[in-house]
Structure 1
């Protein structure tokens, strides 16, 4: 459908979050890039704000931060919590995505100008609960591998506490309680995803030690 509207569609096998975004940057023919994932929607006020910015090219910053809000599944409500306000509109000559396989964030060059837009992006992060479980499984696997690479070691205390602490953070401090039943489900999902990455780090660390021991001469 995108090609019918004149879009150029390019396939690239998944190398990781940061690497995929860097591949997309390399395909751009223009300096300005606006990164929008397939499960995200630009809300009208953000659209109008971006258009207004480009009415005065001489006043443009090099990169723009914007808030991304989850749309609660099976509802029309946007979560009030914004975990991050990433740079999504930027000059490629002034910043690039990191090469991290887990984190997809634009890293702006030194001595660049940035601004924050007030408009929001709506994030439809769930297609189904089946999809959510698959996504948590894949992402926690990548997170554990990334922590292993950075030399992080598992903690039995974190394994026991992380789920309950993360539920309280999600439900109370992130404000998921405002979303009723679906907010409660989101808080549980958030807590379970944190628990998953801890037990997978424990698993990978155990396998690493066992592999080293088996390779020792007997």
Structure 2
């Protein structure tokens, strides 16, 4: 379709990686209906009916055994029929305002003004229906032209890598992030993810300074409680600040444990 400005409408594919996300995948798919030319769900062996729910909400489901975050997202990029891609995770959703913003940009062809668009991703907890006004958020490129830049191939870090010197544009509206189903779920996730992070660090030859065993927890708590403004959540802010700090401490302690085991396996090591 040709617009009055002489720009062509741009078709946008959406892909979502998922594993046992039956309770959240429908919300994620429905949230992009206003602008998605297609939705592709990359499933890594769900056993809770995620695939069937995704299909019922209009997505195409592709099975792929889990290779790590970056490789799975690169696989997802390859399954899309369009070069313009919007990525969200199963625990995320485009707000109605964000979906309308992207739909307008796609219809007008204005997406082409930049090959990379950043979006603010804001926390929503299980007892909330929308992000709090002070909700912590981080900025990532999630809407992009895969011909110019793609996700990294890191098994731990799933980030779109633009070429050097690229200047992404910024979407005005936010995305919702419901990463914590419950405290029990968060504990399992932090344990699993910290182990993966330590493995990734070891593969790259990185180590933590041992003094961080002492400083990591208190400094991380202060970062969460003050800088991330978790204090504004009241008592709940204490809970999520402690959990954040413990997640950071787990990385350092597991890395140190790995060093001890490696030293024990090589007695001559100094």
Change (3 A) 1:59 1:71: closer
- CA shift, 1:9, in A, is 0.5
- CA shift, 1:58, in A, is 5.3
Q: Does 1:159 align with 2:245?
A: no
Aligned with residue 143 of structure 2, among 89, 97, 113: 89
Cα shift readout 1:120-165 (whole Å, capped 9, x = no counterpart): 1110111121110010001110111122223223433101111011
Aligned with residue 92 of structure 2, among 28, 35, 40: 40
Question: In the aligned structure 2, how far is the partner of 1:39 from the partner of 1:59?
Answer: 25
Contact kept in structure 2, 1:45 and 1:119, CA below 8 Å: yes
Question: In the aligned structure 1, how far is the partner of 2:119 from the partner of 2:260?
Answer: 40
Q: What residue ranges of structure 2 are gaps of 5+ in the alignment? A: 1-52
- CA shift, 1:112, in A, is 4.8
Cα shift readout 1:175-200 (whole Å, capped 9, x = no counterpart): 00111122221111110000000000
TM-score (structure 1 length as normaliser): 0.91
Question: In the aligned structure 2, how far is the partner of 1:100 from the partner of 1:26?
Answer: 16
Aligned with residue 29 of structure 1, among 77, 81, 91: 81
Partner of 1:53: 105
Question: In the aligned structure 1, how far is the partner of 2:171 from the partner of 2:159?
Answer: 17
Partner of 1:66: 119
Bigger fraction of residues in helix: 1
- CA shift, 1:27, in A, is 1.1
Contact kept in structure 2, 1:73 and 1:182, CA below 8 Å: no
Question: In the aligned structure 1, how far is the partner of 2:238 from the partner of 2:221?
Answer: 9
Contact kept in structure 1, 2:198 and 2:254, CA below 8 Å: yes
Q: Secondary structure at the match of 1:156?
A: coil
Partner of 1:185: 239
Q: What residue ranges of structure 1 are gaps of 5+ in the alignment? A: none
Change (3 A) 1:35 1:110: same
- CA shift, 1:97, in A, is 0.3
Contact kept in structure 2, 1:72 and 1:183, CA below 8 Å: no
Q: Does 1:124 align with 2:178?
A: yes
Q: Secondary structure at the match of 1:67?
A: strand
Q: CA RMSD in A?
A: 2.0
Change (3 A) 1:153 1:114: closer
- CA shift, 1:111, in A, is 6.1
- Structure showing greater relative contact order (alpha-carbon pairs closer than 8 Å, 6 or more residues apart): 1
Aligned with residue 228 of structure 2, among 139, 164, 174: 174
Partner of 1:101: 155
- CA shift, 1:48, in A, is 1.4
Change (3 A) 1:112 1:166: closer
Question: In the aligned structure 1, how far is the partner of 2:102 from the partner of 2:118?
Answer: 11
